[in-house]
Amino acid sequence: MLYNSVIGRIYCRIQGDCLTGISIGRNIYEDIKDTITLQSLKRELDDYFSGRLFEFKQRTLFVEGTDFQKSVWSLLPKIKYGETVSYKDIAVQIGLEGGYQAVGSAIGKNPIPIVVPCHRVVGSDGLLKGFSAGLPVKRWLLNHERRFNPYENISG
């Protein structure tokens, strides 16, 4: 599936009713026929890029990756829209305090960026570190989410 977005062309891979891959800027997947899952994903991407969707509901499936990578990827959707955490934070969360480089490597191989929000992970110093589609795209995604963040300015 091809989706034209403000950050470039997004190519998606679907298996059954699950999203299994996203590639930004280059097509690495075989073309697939339009399905209800694709239509639903397109609506969610439309809503995300227009600032109306803060949490993807699309089912995902990691068909590739090690158990360690999958354990790291499973934590990424828990990072709230518009917020960031560090690689070190995730390493501590999984009980691998000194393993921020291993966490970074796993995150760098996330096959479903945006929907599984690896762009929300930054260095301990707050600086942007790698992203499969490049740092300008990561910066755009973070700025977009900060702009539309529904969790800010909530008192209570």
Chain centroid to CA 20: how far? 12
Pick the catalytic residue from 7, 116, 118, 137.
118
In three-state secondary structure terms, 134 is coil
Q: In 3D, which of 118, 119, 133, 140 has the Cα closest to residue 28?
A: 133
Whether 118 is catalytic is yes
Q: Contact 75/90 with Cβ under 8 angstroms?
A: yes
Query: Which positions ≥6 away from 64 have C-beta within 8 Å?
Result: 111
Active-site residue set: 118
